[in-house]
């Protein structure tokens, strides 16, 4: 049960700068939902212009009956809503009523497999039901436990992970509504949980098609603002470099004219996935990183759906999050958070979280903020070996290797920043500031940061025994500068007897403007979405 989970890490060593010993264990404690909105106790002043709801999503149930998830990301979705109105804030939370949730709760054990946890039938079940379970896993019917983020398509909001299932929710009450299967509209087995939205409100996303008519491909699509998913338009399909091992894609870049898709040597082995259940291993073990291979960066024209003639290559890397991308003088600049290996996912296995001694996690590699520059002008007449980047403010290069092929070296802007957020009003345009979590020593952030990409200056916020979530920037209406607004951070407070809180920082100074105590526990979450209220 959960008790042993909670206490098992108490013996871990800690120093004053590190986490309290039980802190990492608390991450895997089952949450309680609080469906009724409760008014928070506000210290300081929440700006009156801040009107809207911040939705947050993440795992909230880690054990059912005698069974537990092996990976933190597998936990069943807990949705949080923080609603700001006239200087006040209310908080509520609900579990996503997914089919996965219903099946697990009814069986009183975990019966639906997740990426990091294979669920096996109750040992007392008969042979036939075991055989059927096996068949269901050969061509996986994925979970609908959308615990990663929220997506807007038209005027509808959905809880999402990265499978073909999403679930519509009511953003005001957090009630779960109908389940939606992407495959009814597009031939995709997986879709990212990080869409993009343009100025007209259209939603863009990328899905992966596994072996449809013998082809494995990536599908880039757009859902028009006024319409729902049923009016989806395919922008283009890109064949995978290797038929049976599509690259894992968590996010992508969008500029006024281009979509940037990174085909990285971090791949899903489809054949291994088909046999994983029989072999007694999880699907995550079928993700493989090939450090000896290169990364291909696709630049796709948003209007025509065609890839550029020039192909851009760089070394092996693992990218989960794009920061932003923008165009400048015949170049497309692509900012990403990149790792040299897959240790990030490994860190969040429950057994590894429990062993976290607060020292730099063994085997954890710090991510770096990398800026790639892709020249779009023709390379005809350019000598082999020549760097085609001619921007004054970056050391990134793109060297011609042969006709139509450039090899790109990134400029590293900083180390140890994750969950990057910008002022989304300037998404696709040149940005200066990035808000994020500090993950220099551990995948578990203990502070949030504002990073100035020009001066490389960093300003931090942290508090003893507090775990901040993603730092979400909300621009002030008609603000005067890029950082004119507030940053919202849900903070898990692990100090005994103290309430967790929503932190509101000034976007310019990064100083605390207010905090709203939620009168209870918050749990570490993953991603979220701010829905402004129409004034």
CA distance 361 to 353: 9
- Helices 127-138 and 270-279: crossing angle in degrees, nearest 10, is 160
Both structure tokens of 214:
């013998």
Instruction: Give the DSSP per-residue string, 48-74.
Output: TT--EEEEEEEEEE-EETTEE-SBGGG
**Looking at the DSSP assignment, which residues form a beta bridge with residue 91?**
38, 82
Q: Does 250 show up as a binding residue in the annotation?
A: yes
Q: Does 331 show up as a binding residue in the annotation?
A: no
Q: Are 304 and 278 in contact (CB under 8 A)?
A: no
Query: Residue written as tokens 């989960």?
Result: 320
Both structure tokens of 47:
């700006």
CA–CA distances in Å: residue 198 to residues 139, 203, 224, 305, 466: 35, 7, 10, 16, 35
Adjacency order of strands within the sheet including 527-532: 34-39, 88-95, 76-85, 52-61, 527-532
- Of 426, 415, 492, 488, give the one whose Cα is nearest residue 451: 415
User: What burial class does residue 457 get, using C-beta atoms within 10 Å of its C-beta: 0-12 exposed, 13-18 middle, 19+ buried?
Assistant: exposed
Residue 496 gets which letter from DSSP? T
Residue 133: Cβ within 10 Å count = 16
Both structure tokens of 211:
């072996």
Residue 289 gets which letter from DSSP? E
Instruction: Give the DSSP per-residue string, 75-92.
Output: SEEEEEEEEEETTEEEEE
Listed in sequence order, the DSSP H helices in 348-469 are: 350-354
Q: Does 91 show up as a binding residue in the annotation?
A: no
CA distance 380 to 514: 57
Residue 400: Cβ within 10 Å count = 19
Which residues contribute to the annotated binding site for Fe cation? 194, 250, 321, 527
Which residues contribute to the annotated binding site? 194, 250, 321, 527
């Amino acid at each position: 049960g959960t008790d042993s989970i909670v206490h098992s890490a108490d013996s871990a060593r800690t120093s004053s700068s590190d986490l309290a010993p039980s802190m990492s264990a608390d991450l895997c404690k089952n949450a309680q939902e609080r469906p009724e909105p409760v008014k928070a106790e506000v210290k300081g002043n929440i700006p009156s212009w801040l009107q809207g709801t911040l939705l947050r999503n993440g795992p909230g149930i880690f054990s059912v009956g005698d069974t537990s998830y092996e990976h933190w990301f597998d936990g069943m979705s807990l949705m949080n809503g923080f609603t700001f109105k006239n200087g006040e804030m209310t908080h509520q939370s609900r579990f996503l009523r997914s089919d996965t949730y219903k099946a697990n709760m009814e069986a009183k054990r975990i019966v639906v497999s997740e990426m990091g946890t294979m669920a096996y039938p109750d040992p007392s079940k008969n042979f036939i039901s075991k055989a059927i379970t096996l068949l269901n896993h050969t061509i996986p019917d994925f979970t609908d436990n959308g615990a990663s983020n929220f997506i807007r398509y038209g005027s509808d909001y959905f809880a999402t992970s990265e499978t073909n299932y999403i679930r519509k929710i009511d953003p005001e009450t957090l009630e779960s509504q109908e389940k939606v299967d992407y495959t009814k509209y597009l031939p995709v087995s997986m879709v990212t949980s990080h869409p993009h939205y343009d100025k007209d409100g259209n939603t863009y996303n990328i899905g992966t098609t596994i072996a449809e008519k013998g082809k494995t491909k990536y599908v880039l699509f757009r859902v028009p603002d006024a319409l729902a998913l049923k009016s989806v338009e395919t922008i283009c399909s890109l064949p995978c470099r290797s038929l049976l091992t599509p690259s894992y894609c968590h996010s992508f870049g969008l500029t006024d004219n281009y979509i940037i898709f990174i085909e990285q040597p971090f791949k899903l082995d489809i054949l291994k996935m088909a046999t994983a259940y029989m072999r007694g291993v999880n699907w995550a073990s079928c993700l493989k990183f090939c450090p000896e291979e290169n990364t291909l960066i696709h630049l796709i024209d948003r209007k025509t759906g065609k890839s550029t003639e020039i192909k851009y290559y760089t070394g092996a890397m693992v990218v989960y999050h794009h920061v932003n991308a923008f165009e400048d003088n015949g170049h497309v600049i692509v900012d990403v958070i990149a790792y040299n290996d897959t240790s990030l996912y490994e860190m969040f296995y429950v057994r590894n979280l429990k062993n976290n001694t607060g020292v730099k996690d063994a085997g954890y590699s710090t991510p770096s903020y990398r800026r790639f520059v892709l020249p779009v002008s023709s390379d005809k007449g350019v000598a082999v070996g020549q760097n085609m980047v001619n921007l004054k403010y970056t050391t990134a290069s793109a060297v011609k290797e042969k006709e139509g092929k450039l090899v790109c070296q990134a400029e590293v802007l900083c180390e140890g920043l994750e969950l990057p957020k910008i002022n989304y009003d300037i998404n696709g345009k040149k940005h200066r500031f990035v808000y994020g979590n500090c993950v220099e020593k551990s995948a578990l952030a203990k502070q949030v940061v504002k990073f100035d990409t020009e001066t490389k200056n960093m300003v931090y916020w942290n508090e003893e025994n507090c775990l901040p979530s993603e730092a979400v920037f909300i621009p002030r209406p008609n603000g005067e500068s890029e950082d004119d607004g507030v940053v919202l951070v849900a903070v898990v407070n692990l100090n005994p007897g103290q309430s967790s809180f929503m932190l509101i920082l000034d976007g310019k100074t990064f100083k605390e403007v207010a905090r709203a105590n939620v009168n209870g526990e918050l749990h570490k979450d993953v991603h979220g979405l701010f829905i402004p209220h129409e004034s």
